[in-house]
Structure 1
Amino acid sequence: MAGGQRFGSLNKPCVLLIVIAGIERFVFKGVASNLVIYLTDVMDMSNSAAARTVNSWCGFTSMLPLLVAPLVDSYWNPVNRGNSSSSSSMFLSLYLISLGQGGYNPSLQAFGADQIDTDDELPTAKSDQKSDKKSMFFQWWYFGICSGSLLGVSIMPNIQDTVGWGLGFAMPAMAMVISMVMFSCGSRFYSYSHDQSNDFKSLEKVVQALKCSVSKFVHHKTQEKSTIIELELEDKPLCLKGENGTESLGDQKSNNSNRLVKIAKVIIRLLPIWTTLLMFAVIFQLPVTFFIKQGMTMKRNIGENYKIPPATLQSAITISIILLMPFYDTIFIPFTRFILRNEKGITTMQRIAIGMFLSVIAMIFAATVEMKRLETSTESESATLSIFWLLPQYILLGISDIFTVVGMQEFFYSAVPNGMRTMGIALYTSVFGVGSFLSALMVYLVEYFTSSAGGKGNWFSDDMKEARLDKYYWLLAGTSVVSLVVFVVLCRFQKTSPVDVEQS
């Protein structure tokens, strides 16, 4: 992969964690890939309501790591149909999945990348080798989760559509149990690192600092300095000891405040780039929502008895990634090195920009195909346009993922200090979380402003002959172009080196 290296050069913990991540993607995609069909066909939701539900759930799932990441960084390695009851049970199940993924996803990926820090490397080339290996790790990580996604979107929709939803949801549960066993079995290989110098990472120490501040405030006007010192000596947890004795309250408060300010600066510095990536995340949600509803109205027969579940076309995304990922390293990067006279080929930011551009092209294809589908559906009562007309938009999104998603992972991981690696991954996942909520909001607004009297006739009409998804796709293409232009402008001013929060 990166730098001419191969998968075998990764250590055992990295390989195992990549496999576990692939199983997790199989589980998640086994539930998410066909969920919109479950909501419309089993739970009797409208197309727009189902899309908003899926987007909101995906958004919550992706946003939760931002809440969990500080905990992970603090304790890095201590050791019937449509009725209210079934609806409540369904939402409870979905958000339990979100809760589990909130801690699982960012911590597992950051933990895997940190395994590389322990590799034996030549002192003269330590930084370059480590950078190359981490770049390779992120690419193989994405290859692993794409392989799991491929199995999830290929196998589970067929089981759910032909056998039943019970088995279709039970199989992902069993696969997750297997991944937990594998993770436990590999514990003796893992390298555990906990930087004790980063006091701000420990919640106990934050609480202790607050106690110190409160104690100082309460006793400032009522007790003499000797009394405060006596209190500190009696209650050791109030203040922390360094190598040379107990730190003063003022010094510790100042150090913690300085570190928190530097952390805030890191996040604020990344927010402009983070914001421009939201439209890519909005487009990212389409394969599990409206693309599927398009496919349901198209010709899906293979032979006399089998109909392709539209959700399985998501496999085109992962297949294109799996097939083209090696092409990226063996052909594309050497070619760009030759053309640009740059040892790295293209930068991380250029990689993200190329993927964003490809997502715009995907939307143009999607809008064109939808216009063709509407034209043929008005001319014939039965579906005449093959579902395979949707393949180009899926493939283009897969290619765009190779560039943008991998680039985002590497950018957010590398642009934060060492003590915030999990937060960096959480910032990356939060792009898709907020993007999902933004997608749900856009669906709501478009439905509101395009509905005729009585709430009918909007772009997301349940009657797909009246729906105008093509206009929605053109809207997404236009807004994505604006985001891309702003992203390119911001990249000229973006500094990628993290702020050093480990020095006071």
Structure 2
Amino acid sequence: MSSFETEKEKENIVLDGSVDLRGRPVERAKTGGIKACSFLVGYEFCERLAFGGIWANLVIYLTTKLHEGTVSASRNVTVWTGTMWSMSIIAAYIADTHWGRYWTFLAFSSVYIVAMGLLALAVSLPSLRPPPCSSGEGCQKASNLQIGIFYLALYLVAVGAGGIKPNISTFGADQFDEFDPKEKSHKNRFFNWWMFTIFFGSLFGKTFLIYIEDNVGFGVSYGVITAALIISGIVFLIGTPFYRHKIVAGSPLKRMGKVFMRVIRNWKVKAPSDPSTLYEVDPKEYIAKGRYPIAHTSALRFLDKAAIVKDGNVSSKISTVTEVEETKLMIGMLPIWVATITPSILGPQAGTLFVKQSETLNRHLGSSFQIPAASVTAFLTLSMLITTLIYDRLLVPILRKYTGNPKGTSALQRMGVGMAMQVVAMLVAVAVEIKRLEAVKDGGLQNNKRGIVHKSIFTLLPQFILLGIADAFLDIGKIEFFYDQAPESMQSMGTALYTSSNGVGAFFSSFVITAVSNFTARGGRKGWIVNNTNASRLDYYYAFLAVLLLMNVLFFMFVSYVYAYKREITEAFREHSEKAMIDTDVNGPSLKGEHNGSDPIQL
């Protein structure tokens, strides 16, 4: 190869430090971008179809097939959902610290496929479920073996699904180079279209698959899901030559832990007023290893003590300014993360209590077709799809003119709109439930748990539409915020904050529904939430949730007001990066990085 060709090749190398699976720098024209993301989008569509088909109808399976009560089934669904979302924290740590996003994704997707196969067997074989009952009363309970096998498979699904969620979306965003204007503009819209794919896959799962579950059988539906996951996994592997990979930068938690330990060690030392006296290495050392130096900020200045140089001596016991700033960024996001927990309790409500409401309504379309009860959640997903499309195509160009923000609004503003819409959605849900209970009373159905009131299932439409609009704003804002604001070497962990807030929210939802059910039933009174939906007071419960959400909106307004956004990568750093990449040997760094014993940066 001539020196001219070598020089030309280096000029076409992606500037954000991305490499291929063998650790070599990658060329912009041959990798990444929309081409690479097309393989990831195909997988995500199938995965969300699978998750939608399981989650939306799970409460129905537990109550009608395993003969669990409404409160127990709702609690089990939310705990399972919480486990799945919380699993993302472990998977993100593994990806950022050891395996990288690609291999972590492959490992957990394999678990997902095996678990789905086992779950399909658990719902198909008659010996693995109790016999059906016609009256709903005195049904034979599932045996310990039947319950054990079903929940073992279900929680293995949670491990697999939870493990891929923080890595597949982050891996998709990794395919766009922050330093290339065209790719950066695509990245600004990436999460809109990524969530659109998620909503689209969920819509198919909540309609097509649920119809199969209600009219053909759960075993057939879960078999289709297993096949879809296998096919989508093959599609993902086919795209391997086109993927870009971030260099594994070592344990983010370990680096943060060292910062805290060094702060404690220097607690009595006063932080310098001049940040230039703090320890930092040459930016080229970061760039060559696929990381970004971060400029000093005045936030959380007590953490600067970790980078104080004593008596002119530099040792491995000193953190760099970049390591300190990475820690500041992660800590700074925690109040926002806390504010996203309470809004996450509404997802489990839509998949449990909203579905139980729909069972009591007239679901017929024409004389023969009946909408499956769990398919009511498709209204929510359809609303999210339409809102995302309108926002990206119509609102962003308009808002961009007024805000100057390429994305139309900031991620926090988008989240705030979503949280406010949730309050409105729950107030509408209160009004709808009051009308439903009036119909229950008029029909004398209070003591008939299978009684169908003379109201259409479409009376639930307003609350689902509003909740879908809210989720479109909130969920896209959340994933965009936690990915963008995390340090580049910790972006799987950043995305895990998004998924884990859903997980903690699901656990919180389980706690709330159990606590409200028990508290309102004290003293022999009839509780707000009982096994008979027609005898429950879900209007009271929804009003309680609306108050809880309103209080959280006020908290979110405060923490978002004081939050300081991460600085954009400057043009000066772009020039540094270009020079460093050109100066770097064409073989590039290894995927795992290299550690020089005299260099305190842990890579």
Please indicate the TM-score interval, normalised by the length of the shorter structure: 0.7 to 0.9
* TM-score when normalising by structure 2: 0.69
Note the 1:160-309 alignment, pairs <5 A: 160-194=213-247, 198-200=249-251, 251-255=315-319, 263-309=326-372
Q: Is the 8 A contact 2:42 2:235 kept in 1?
A: no
State whether structure 2 residue 224 is matched by structure 1 residue 154: no
SS of match in other structure, 1:465: helix
Note the 1:307-456 alignment, pairs <5 A: 307-337=370-400, 345-380=408-443, 381=445, 382-453=452-523
Residue 37 of structure 1, aligned match among 60, 63, 66: 60
Distance in 2 between the 1:199 and 1:289 partners?
40
SS of match in other structure, 2:174: helix
Residue 68 of structure 1, aligned match among 91, 98, 102: 91
SS of match in other structure, 1:285: helix
Moved more, 159-168 or 426-435: 159-168
The match for 1:465 is 534
Moved more, 137-146 or 300-309: 300-309
Q: Is the 8 A contact 1:26 1:150 kept in 2?
A: yes
Distance in 2 between the 1:263 and 1:499 partners?
14
Distance in 1 between the 2:239 and 2:465 partners?
35
For residues 440 and 202 of structure 1, do their structure 2 counterparts lie closer, same or farther at Cα, with a shift above 3 Å needed?
closer
Distance in 2 between the 1:61 and 1:461 partners?
26
Distance in 1 between the 2:407 and 2:170 partners?
23
State whether structure 2 residue 72 is matched by structure 1 residue 12: no
Distance in 1 between the 2:471 and 2:482 partners?
16
How far the C-alpha of 1:77 sits from its partner, in A, is 5.8
Distance in 1 between the 2:508 and 2:193 partners?
30
How far the C-alpha of 1:459 sits from its partner, in A, is 1.1
For residues 283 and 296 of structure 1, do their structure 2 counterparts lie closer, same or farther at Cα, with a shift above 3 Å needed?
same
Tell me which amino acid in the other structure corresponds to 1:164.
G
How far the C-alpha of 1:503 sits from its partner, in A, is 7.1
Q: Structure 2 stretches of 5 or more lacking a match?
A: 1-31, 104-128, 131-141, 259-287, 290-313, 446-451, 570-599
State whether structure 2 residue 560 is matched by structure 1 residue 491: yes
Q: Is the 8 A contact 1:10 1:137 kept in 2?
A: no
SS of match in other structure, 1:496: coil
Q: Is the 8 A contact 1:361 1:396 kept in 2?
A: yes
Tell me which amino acid in the other structure corresponds to 1:481.
L
Distance in 1 between the 2:475 and 2:371 partners?
28
Once the two structures are superposed, what CA deviation does each residue of 1:66-89 show, in whole Å capped at 9, x if it has no partner? Answer: 112111012216862222111111
How far the C-alpha of 1:340 sits from its partner, in A, is 5.5
Q: How many residues align?
A: 444
Distance in 2 between the 1:64 and 1:369 partners?
35
Tell me which amino acid in the other structure corresponds to 2:466.
L
For residues 251 and 186 of structure 1, do their structure 2 counterparts lie closer, same or farther at Cα, with a shift above 3 Å needed?
same
Moved more, 441-450 or 336-345: 336-345
Q: Is the 8 A contact 2:355 2:374 kept in 1?
A: yes
State whether structure 2 residue 120 is matched by structure 1 residue 96: no
Tell me which amino acid in the other structure corresponds to 2:159.
L
How far the C-alpha of 1:151 sits from its partner, in A, is 0.5
How far the C-alpha of 1:318 sits from its partner, in A, is 2.0
Residue 78 of structure 2, aligned match among 42, 55, 61: 55
Distance in 1 between the 2:322 and 2:396 partners?
38
How far the C-alpha of 1:287 sits from its partner, in A, is 1.4
Tell me which amino acid in the other structure corresponds to 1:146.
F
Tell me which amino acid in the other structure corresponds to 1:20.
Y
Q: Is the 8 A contact 1:279 1:480 kept in 2?
A: yes
For residues 498 and 469 of structure 1, do their structure 2 counterparts lie closer, same or farther at Cα, with a shift above 3 Å needed?
farther
Tell me which amino acid in the other structure corresponds to 2:315.
D
Distance in 2 between the 1:451 and 1:17 partners?
48
Once the two structures are superposed, what CA deviation does each residue of 1:12-59 show, in whole Å capped at 9, x if it has no partner? Answer: 111221221111100111111100000111111111111110000000
Distance in 2 between the 1:449 and 1:30 partners?
33
Tell me which amino acid in the other structure corresponds to 2:168.
L
How far the C-alpha of 1:386 sits from its partner, in A, is 0.8
The match for 1:234 is none
Tell me which amino acid in the other structure corresponds to 2:562.
F
Residue 547 of structure 2, aligned match among 470, 478, 482: 478
Tell me which amino acid in the other structure corresponds to 1:76.
G
Distance in 1 between the 2:102 and 2:425 partners?
45
For residues 92 and 498 of structure 1, do their structure 2 counterparts lie closer, same or farther at Cα, with a shift above 3 Å needed?
farther
Q: Is the 8 A contact 1:363 1:476 kept in 2?
A: yes
Q: Is the 8 A contact 2:101 2:168 kept in 1?
A: no
State whether structure 2 residue 133 is matched by structure 1 residue 106: no
Tell me which amino acid in the other structure corresponds to 1:56.
V
For residues 464 and 102 of structure 1, do their structure 2 counterparts lie closer, same or farther at Cα, with a shift above 3 Å needed?
closer
For residues 340 and 184 of structure 1, do their structure 2 counterparts lie closer, same or farther at Cα, with a shift above 3 Å needed?
closer
Distance in 1 between the 2:252 and 2:327 partners?
14
Distance in 2 between the 1:78 and 1:285 partners?
30
The match for 2:110 is none
For residues 273 and 460 of structure 1, do their structure 2 counterparts lie closer, same or farther at Cα, with a shift above 3 Å needed?
same
Distance in 2 between the 1:358 and 1:55 partners?
22
How far the C-alpha of 1:265 sits from its partner, in A, is 3.4
Q: Structure 1 stretches of 5 or more lacking a match?
A: 1-8, 210-241, 244-249
How far the C-alpha of 1:323 sits from its partner, in A, is 2.4
For residues 346 and 263 of structure 1, do their structure 2 counterparts lie closer, same or farther at Cα, with a shift above 3 Å needed?
closer
Q: Is the 8 A contact 1:353 1:487 kept in 2?
A: yes
For residues 48 and 202 of structure 1, do their structure 2 counterparts lie closer, same or farther at Cα, with a shift above 3 Å needed?
closer
Sequence identity percentage = 33
Tell me which amino acid in the other structure corresponds to 1:166.
G
How far the C-alpha of 1:10 sits from its partner, in A, is 4.8
Once the two structures are superposed, what CA deviation does each residue of 1:239-258 show, in whole Å capped at 9, x if it has no partner? Answer: xxx99xxxxxx9335449x8
For residues 99 and 498 of structure 1, do their structure 2 counterparts lie closer, same or farther at Cα, with a shift above 3 Å needed?
farther
For residues 109 and 339 of structure 1, do their structure 2 counterparts lie closer, same or farther at Cα, with a shift above 3 Å needed?
closer
Distance in 2 between the 1:314 and 1:167 partners?
21
Greater helix share, 1 or 2? 1
* TM-score when normalising by structure 1: 0.82
Q: Is the 8 A contact 1:416 1:498 kept in 2?
A: no
Once the two structures are superposed, what CA deviation does each residue of 1:468-497 show, in whole Å capped at 9, x if it has no partner? Answer: 111111011111111111111111110121
Q: Is the 8 A contact 1:414 1:498 kept in 2?
A: no
